[in-house]
Structures are given as C-alpha cells and as structure tokens.
Amino acid sequence: MNAVSRRKALLTTIAALVLAAASTAARADDMAGMKMDKGPTEKKEKTQKMDNKEPAADAGGAKAKKGAEKLEVAITDKGFEPDKLEVKKGQPVELVFTRKTDQTCIKEVILDTGTAKIQKPLPLNQPVVIKTKFTKAGDLKYACNMNMFSGTVKVQ
C-alpha cells in the first residue's frame, strides 16, 4: 500500500469516527429531557409516605419545628432515593436532600410545589432543607437541573 492509499484510509477512518461521535452526542441530547422510569416493583419500594398516623420509616418519625414532617431524600449513584414521596395537602413539610455522591449530574434540586419552583444547590455530604407546604393535590416533580434524574411528590 502506498502513502496516498494509507492517507485516504486514515482520513476515511477519522471521518467515520467523527460521524459516530456526533450521532452519539445527538442521541444523548435527545434523551436528556426524557424521564428515566424504573420498573413498578422498584417504584413501590422507593415510596416514602407521610401522614400524621404513620411517619415514614426512613424519616424516623422525626418532627421538625412547628409540626412539620421531615422527609429525607438521598442523592446516590442511582439518583434520588426515594424517588417517590407522599404528603398530605396543606401540611407543612421539611424535605431534606443530601447528596452522597459526586458521580451524577445532580448538583442542585428543582422542586415544583404547585405554586412555585424552588431551586437549591446540593453541596456534597451536606443536608439541604427545603421547608414548604403543598397546597394543590396531584403529582409534583423534583429533579436535577439537567432533568436527567427526577422524583415525584404525590400530594393527597
């Protein structure tokens, strides 16, 4: 094989690699806005319920000031854990987010309360408390700022 043939083969290979990388990046951009869903059995295990009679096991039944219920959410390699919370409409709530890994894009949380969106940075290994009251029933979302990881607050 002469030098010209080798150069053409090299350029063809480089062009193919560039096209493959661009295609992969485009697919990743398309998927960034999609909600990554887990199977139904996993969802049930990750639900943290909150009501006056049965405090959440993960929250340890801890009461915050002024009677607010405390729900804890850990940020791990798997995302938000738990990724489903249940609260009662109109009841004061303290959501405590603790980022335990630096291996995800979850560096801040955006919480939809139904009336406003609260955005807070999540420093590594430091609890971040969001005190709020959900006044509208329905499913509301919390997510990272890239919307790649999310969870749901079911307000009843």
pLDDT tens track for 114-149: 999 999 999 999 999 999 999 899 999 999 999 999
Q: Which CATH class is domain 40-155?
A: mainly beta
SS3 content of the chain, % helix, strand, coil (to 5): 25, 35, 40
Q: Which whole number is the average pLDDT over 83-111?
A: 95
pLDDT tier, 60 (very low <50, low <70, confident <90, very high otherwise): very low
Token readout for 88 is: 């009662």
Residue 108 pLDDT greater than 90, yes or no: yes
Closest CA to 141 of 84, 81, 77: 84
Q: Which whole number is the average pLDDT over 104-112?
A: 95
pTM, full prediction: 0.60
Strand order in the sheet with 47-49: 47-49, 84-87, 150-155, 138-143, 108-112, 117-121
pLDDT tier, 155 (very low <50, low <70, confident <90, very high otherwise): very high
The rounded percent of the chain whose pLDDT value lies above 90 is 53
Spatial contact of 59 and 72, defined as CB atoms under 8 Å apart:
yes
Residue reference for tokens 């219920």: 69
Sign of CA dihedral 127, 105, 114, 137: negative
Q: Is 35 left (phi over 0), alpha (psi -120 to 50) or beta?
A: beta
Whole-angstrom distance, CA of residue 122 vs CA of residue 144: 10
More confident residue, 1 or 155: 155
Token readout for 104 is: 């995800």
Mean pLDDT lowest for which of 5-19, 66-80, 92-106, 135-149?
A: 5-19
